[in-house]
Structure 1
Amino acid sequence: MRRGRSTAIAVLAATAVSAGVRPTVAWADPQNRHSYVLGPSTAQVKPVDRRGYVQGPDASNVRPVAVTVLSGDVTHASGLAGRGTKATTLTMAPGGAPATVLLDYGKEMVGTPYIDAAPSGTAPPLQLAFSETRKYLSDAQGRLTGDGVGTGGYERRQSITPTAQSRVRGTFEGGFRYETITLSTPGTVTLRAAGVDFEAYRATPAQYQGHFLSSSDALNRMWFDGAYTVQTDMAATGVQGALAPSVLDGAKRDRKLWSGDLAVEGPTILASLGSNGAEYVMRSVLALLKLSTPGSGLAGFGVPSGGSNGLDPAYSNTYSSWTVDDAVGYFRATADTRFARQVLPYVEGQIAYDSTLTDAGGLLVTANVFGGPNSGLDWDIYDGPKAGVVAGANMLYYRVLTDAAYLEAQLGNGRKAAGHLATAARVKDAINARLFNPATGAYDLSETARGVIAQDANSLAVLFGIAPQSKVPGIVRALKTLWDTNGSRPYSANAGLSSVMSPFVTGFEVEALYEAGYATDAEKLLALTWNQMIDPKNPSYTGTFWENYLPDGTLQDGSISASHGWSSGPTPALTGYVLGVQPVDPGYRTFTVSPHFGTLTWAKGAVPTPHGPITVAWTGRSGRRDLVVNVPPGTTAAVEIPGRPAVEIHGGAHGATKSLVIDA
């Protein structure tokens, strides 16, 4: 994980070491008193086969799971789904109705469509159309096949001409669940097969170095669906011209590098695929840095092919901040020191640039411009720039300073780390003095938008440790006023901004709730937001998570991505807070285990590290919890349960497994 109290411990400890001072962080309770008992565990964790939750296809050749005849003369349509030996025939008589079939792959696909055909006589072309949801899919004549309105939204079309007795491939398509095949000119085509060559990251159970299971089937599905969402956004070298393994924002749209999205996607990949996906994260960060201008804000946007679509790579100040957090988060998880030294000048350059944007009180000021390193644009581009002293931008400014302190401390530069921590402390004080509103019990959107509660700023204030502990309960109450039946609105109504709900921002609120000890509320927000996305009966179900949605739970139109990696927050949150594993020193050389039990009766899982997997399993109810932790060789764990002293477990040369009984 990239956030939480363990970060502050690591910065302080590493700074002390680099300055020649013995760290004073105390973890051990050597006599194992205070309601801990070491010994055999009585944990009875229900056996659940995690393979049933893995969404990735078993093979790169994927066939549809269902076929429906939409119009015209079609025989043996089910043959296209692999059920039966008979071929499928589409026939259109002169003046007759086009023959159209709808292929349903059951979940999000990325890749190149193909057909195996045996045409009768001169082969007429077939028209293909693709969409993530049936509501916005239309046939070759532009008529909607679902219950939507309009012109079909963001569906995509292509033409393919059959060749006798051979496989014909179309052109690459981003995310889609549905495909229509239409014969709209007179003739007959016999199809022996149709499908897609899958060209995203295909993760079978063997590729998962991490996993999560619990007593909640819904949470289990969220963890694995989040992982699959990001896998559909991963492009290998050469896919659509990608110059290196890349993590894109969406399967369908934009299919670009975005640092804000990567702030969630990177932890999702590292929590699920571990080293199997690490290069995608690392190369994406380096690609953004390569696009950055020295002495200015870092790039927060990029095209994986190295080209440009006219948008300034330095999209906004907040996205420049996320680029820093992406880089340091990757180092925190992997201990890649070579990478850390490579990115350090860019991190320091961002801090130097940010200092030119601060006012006399030390807070950062963003500009009312549409793009650029000082722009007030953010994740909600449709709301336009937020200019002035904006709370969210300053929460991220504080985060950049603590990120830089972590990086400098771990590389042995204690003096620089201490300097960044001192600046961060001043920024924190200024945020609390100027942006906290006692009347609402929360932080204002900005110094000019008083009384407006912003979901992002208040979540980050708790998550980054900016909010004083005494203020956290009030902030949580204020955030809950934004909740609705389908999740959280991003702003209070007096903001005058869009009410479109953002799973990206909600993921940070879930982490903030866990971080503050509100596990039951975190579970409720997870359910409100993501239960609708994991429901196969939902008309917009794709097995992946949506970019955003309207307060009524529907997608605004066909352009909205139904597989957007920035919405995969449940995956790293459940690993980092329900299993409770977060790194302290880079690469989990030291780490904390602090499970947040909530309403669950058991949970278990694995966390990938360079030293081997950390495994955690716990079971029980409020009166007693049994916890088993496996600590890899060469690492040290601190088991931290609120209200109890921490227990230190050393992995030693061969690793160690310890059982603890936690009494109420």
Structure 2
Amino acid sequence: MKLAAVLINFSVASFAAQALAVQYEQYILAPSSRTLHPISVYNVDGSVVGAESLVGDDLGSATFQGISAVTFDYGKEIGGVVSLTIGEVDDDQYIGITFAESSLWISGIGSDGGSFSQFDSPLWFRPSGPGVYTVPREYERGGFRYLSLIKNSTETLEVTQVTTHFTPMPHYSEDALRNYTGFFHSDDELVNRIWYAGAYTNQLCTISPVYGNSLPWLLIGNSDEISAYWFSNTTISNGTSVLVDGARRDRLVWAGDMAIAVPGIVVSTNDLISVRNSLDSLFALQNGTTGQLPYAGVGFFPDSYSETYHLYTLIGVANYYLYANDIEYLSNIWSQWKTAMDYSISQIDDSGLMNVTLSADWLRFGMGAHNIEANSILYHTLQQGLILSRALNDSGVTELYTEVAETLKSSANALLWNETAGFYNDNETSSLHPQDGNSWAVVANLTDSPEKVARISANLQRRWGPYGAPAPEAGTAVSPFISGFELQTHFAAGNATRALELMRLQWGYMLDGPYMTNSSFIEGYEFSGALHYAPYPNDVRISHAHGWSTGPTSTLTFNVAGIVLEGPGGATWQIKPQLGDLQSVHAGFSTGLGLFENRYEKQDNGTFKMVFETPKSTKGRLSIEHSECAGTMVLRDLGGACDDTVVDVDSNPGGRVEFANVVGGRWEIDFKCSS
């Protein structure tokens, strides 16, 4: 629901990142304590006397009489290690625990599944007497909202407390879980909640490296079986924390997921050590002969490869360098990076495009041939390679990367653009117009005209349904992962309102729709809105906390608030807000260089005011859209060192005013219509 514009006091007082984050702490979903208790009873079956007494922190007394069960609700997605405090108990009793992220999968016979083919079995305790019984750490449940206690015998058993030790973000102290280094606020409450749910989802997907999935066990059994083998006991990286794809599953490192999750992390918690640990785990598995990088990290099948995920790993290095300004890390990994790029370039044939021979991708169907998605990602990666080579003063690859990129761009537009459809074809033998390839073509700037960008954006919108944007390359799926790139496509087309509409439609459904967690973002679902994901034969497998679904968190900061880092750590930057149908926005985040912040408020009669701050050691440029009236725009240095810059703006719908070579500091822009 849109709310009335929030009036912002444009004080010249210094902005403090932590204080501003606290200002919006009502949206932060991370807990203030690692010790969590249920907040309500969701359901009772059979006779459980006093179930409500187990809600909250205090000791209670719930007596299970005969075959019975109770389901507790934690109110939001959490993850961790469960303990039960047992009171009175008859001899030879068992009590079981099942978990569910979605209320759709609450069950007394199993937990939502960790594999393609089966539910996960309950965890059973056999208490010998009163005391605290804790789940073994290898059965840590990384993601759940609902916890059920089941007793399957006729005797009586008393439970006096249910506790979960919250295990995400293991390298953060308990009191630091909510200390975000970034923040976001606008006049739209749903948009605000979406930003913070994305930030929290990425926190849930940051785990201890020694509790990754033990994947081989997950593949045992038939579709009608329930497996006990869902251990989380595989060491998947070095360090004390690592970013994985999903909180519950797969709990493995996947480079594609990081392309969306990492920017969202940067603008919220800036937890770059977990990102680096994840990248290191992938490069440790690089094929020393071919240069190929793995499809996924330790714990997945070691000889599996993907053309696109190979490239996503290289993009991950470029992103890490941009946000962390870690030239030493880049220098140490550069040789491996170039070897990996050589492999991708070697897959280009006489068409000028990479011929994809590996089928693995993000769960799309039919990957192969001169695929527009893979070639767009390769084009983008080549551009990143040129940036990295300049940072390292390595001119040896400049000519090669430039020539290959130019050929890719011209070949893709000649062979794959469908003028009639206003889309790129998936490949030259296909009539499929994929969401991934068309979005990535725009994001990578593979398009060769603004008109193509505009047409792709408009045509993508025409395909939306009531629950979001389709990914026809994955059957009936809605892919929040690829829709994250579609959001960027609409901003690139200059249509912020369209991007915001998709956020409210799709991520609003993921946040508040039936059977969702109301706190974290689901991996994927069906175009009909059903909790079915076409690439999976088992709906119970779907993850409800997946980092690849957090695209709005970064796009709201980078594109709506318009804070764009162009040089490492933000040494150079651009401020280019695109508010669309929002009336106000206030956002910021910190890097190693300091705070980047922007406040923008539309006022009456087409006027607006903007105050932004960047670290004093930096410099950048501004691109400011003005309203549809003539008027005067004033750029004012709030530090008082520079004279005002005054620009007379002619009436020009959609026009922008550009300012170059703006030094870091606190600045104000005022625009007032003259008529």
TM-score range, shorter chain: 0.7 to 0.9
1:544 is the counterpart of 2:520: yes
- Whether the aligned pair in 1 keeps the contact of 2:570 and 2:618 (CA below 8 Å) is yes
Distance, in Å, in 2 between the alignment partners of 1:134 and 1:120 is: 29
Code of the aligned partner of 1:270: V
Distance, in Å, in 1 between the alignment partners of 2:291 and 2:104 is: 41
Q: 1:624 aligns with which of 597, 602, 607?
A: 607
1:207 is the counterpart of 2:207: no
Report which stretch shifted further, 563-572 or 352-361: 352-361
2:574 aligns to what?
592
Give the C-alpha shift of residue 312 in structure 1: 2.7
1:531 is the counterpart of 2:508: yes
2:230 aligns to what?
none
1:362 aligns to what?
352
Secondary structure of 1:538's match? coil
438 and 51 in structure 1: CA distance in 2 versus 1, 3 angstrom threshold: same
Distance, in Å, in 1 between the alignment partners of 2:269 and 2:22 is: 20
Give the C-alpha shift of residue 301 in structure 1: 3.5
1:477 aligns to what?
458
Give the C-alpha shift of residue 540 in structure 1: 2.2
Higher relative contact order (CA 8 A, sep 6+): 1
Distance, in Å, in 1 between the alignment partners of 2:403 and 2:143 is: 46
Give the C-alpha shift of residue 523 in structure 1: 0.7
- How do 1:461-610 and structure 2 match up within 5 A? 461-467=441-447, 468-491=449-472, 498-535=475-512, 538-556=514-532, 557-610=539-592
Q: 1:227 aligns with which of 191, 196, 199?
A: 199
514 and 541 in structure 1: CA distance in 2 versus 1, 3 angstrom threshold: same
- Whether the aligned pair in 2 keeps the contact of 1:209 and 1:273 (CA below 8 Å) is yes
Secondary structure of 1:641's match? strand
- How do 1:40-55 and structure 2 match up within 5 A? 49-55=23-29
1:29 aligns to what?
none
Give the alignment's TM-score, normalised by structure 2. Answer: 0.82
Give the C-alpha shift of residue 350 in structure 1: 2.1
Cα deviation 1:12-61 (Å, max 9, x = unaligned): xxxxxxxxxxxxxxxxxxxxxxxxxxx9889xxx9994111111122111
Code of the aligned partner of 2:565: P
Distance, in Å, in 2 between the alignment partners of 1:181 and 1:455 is: 43
Distance, in Å, in 1 between the alignment partners of 2:360 and 2:375 is: 13
Cα deviation 1:241-287 (Å, max 9, x = unaligned): 4343211111111111111001111111111111xx11000110111
1:644 aligns to what?
656
Distance, in Å, in 1 between the alignment partners of 2:179 and 2:117 is: 36
- Whether the aligned pair in 1 keeps the contact of 2:58 and 2:161 (CA below 8 Å) is no
Cα deviation 1:496-550 (Å, max 9, x = unaligned): x511110000010101111220111101111121111221x62222410010011
160 and 299 in structure 1: CA distance in 2 versus 1, 3 angstrom threshold: farther
Give the C-alpha shift of residue 663 in structure 1: 4.6
Code of the aligned partner of 2:265: I
1:198 is the counterpart of 2:183: no
83 and 333 in structure 1: CA distance in 2 versus 1, 3 angstrom threshold: closer
- Whether the aligned pair in 2 keeps the contact of 1:40 and 1:659 (CA below 8 Å) is no
- Whether the aligned pair in 2 keeps the contact of 1:581 and 1:607 (CA below 8 Å) is no
131 and 609 in structure 1: CA distance in 2 versus 1, 3 angstrom threshold: same
Distance, in Å, in 1 between the alignment partners of 2:48 and 2:585 is: 49
1:184 aligns to what?
152
Distance, in Å, in 2 between the alignment partners of 1:406 and 1:610 is: 20
Distance, in Å, in 2 between the alignment partners of 1:70 and 1:299 is: 49
Cα deviation 1:473-502 (Å, max 9, x = unaligned): 2222221232111111112xxx7x511110
Give the C-alpha shift of residue 206 in structure 1: 4.4
- How do 1:376-525 and structure 2 match up within 5 A? 376-381=359-364, 383=365, 385-450=366-431, 452-467=432-447, 468-491=449-472, 498-525=475-502
Distance, in Å, in 2 between the alignment partners of 1:86 and 1:179 is: 17
1:78 aligns to what?
52
Distance, in Å, in 1 between the alignment partners of 2:72 and 2:574 is: 47
- How do 1:189-338 and structure 2 match up within 5 A? 189-201=157-169, 206-239=178-211, 240-242=233-235, 243-244=237-238, 245-274=241-270, 277-303=271-297, 306=298, 308-310=299-301, 312-314=303-305, 316-338=306-328
Give the C-alpha shift of residue 421 in structure 1: 2.3
Distance, in Å, in 2 between the alignment partners of 1:65 and 1:607 is: 32
Give the C-alpha shift of residue 83 in structure 1: 7.6
1:4 aligns to what?
none
Distance, in Å, in 2 between the alignment partners of 1:409 and 1:90 is: 68
Q: 1:88 aligns with which of 56, 59, 62?
A: 62
1:657 aligns to what?
666
Code of the aligned partner of 1:350: A
Code of the aligned partner of 1:198: F
Distance, in Å, in 2 between the alignment partners of 1:459 and 1:582 is: 20
1:23 aligns to what?
none
Q: How many residues align?
A: 588
Code of the aligned partner of 1:236: S
Secondary structure of 2:158's match? strand
Cα deviation 1:134-178 (Å, max 9, x = unaligned): 2122114x7x99xxxxx9964542112335442210131121111
182 and 47 in structure 1: CA distance in 2 versus 1, 3 angstrom threshold: closer
Secondary structure of 2:445's match? coil
114 and 83 in structure 1: CA distance in 2 versus 1, 3 angstrom threshold: closer
Distance, in Å, in 2 between the alignment partners of 1:403 and 1:116 is: 54
Distance, in Å, in 1 between the alignment partners of 2:313 and 2:525 is: 26
Distance, in Å, in 1 between the alignment partners of 2:53 and 2:134 is: 19
2:94 aligns to what?
125
- Whether the aligned pair in 2 keeps the contact of 1:297 and 1:317 (CA below 8 Å) is no
399 and 47 in structure 1: CA distance in 2 versus 1, 3 angstrom threshold: closer
Give the C-alpha shift of residue 230 in structure 1: 1.2
Secondary structure of 2:540's match? coil
Percent of residue pairs identical: 26
Distance, in Å, in 2 between the alignment partners of 1:208 and 1:644 is: 33
1:6 aligns to what?
none
Code of the aligned partner of 1:399: H
Distance, in Å, in 2 between the alignment partners of 1:613 and 1:356 is: 42
- Whether the aligned pair in 1 keeps the contact of 2:32 and 2:178 (CA below 8 Å) is no
Give the alignment's TM-score, normalised by structure 1. Answer: 0.84
Distance, in Å, in 2 between the alignment partners of 1:228 and 1:220 is: 13
Distance, in Å, in 1 between the alignment partners of 2:419 and 2:373 is: 18
Distance, in Å, in 1 between the alignment partners of 2:418 and 2:479 is: 24
- Whether the aligned pair in 1 keeps the contact of 2:97 and 2:124 (CA below 8 Å) is yes
Secondary structure of 2:525's match? coil
523 and 207 in structure 1: CA distance in 2 versus 1, 3 angstrom threshold: same
Q: For structure 2, which runs of at least 5 residues remain unmatched after alignment?
A: 1-9, 14-19, 212-232, 533-538, 626-654
Distance, in Å, in 1 between the alignment partners of 2:246 and 2:314 is: 21
Distance, in Å, in 2 between the alignment partners of 1:565 and 1:50 is: 22
Distance, in Å, in 2 between the alignment partners of 1:132 and 1:211 is: 27
Cα deviation 1:529-578 (Å, max 9, x = unaligned): 1111221x622224100100111212112111111110000111111101
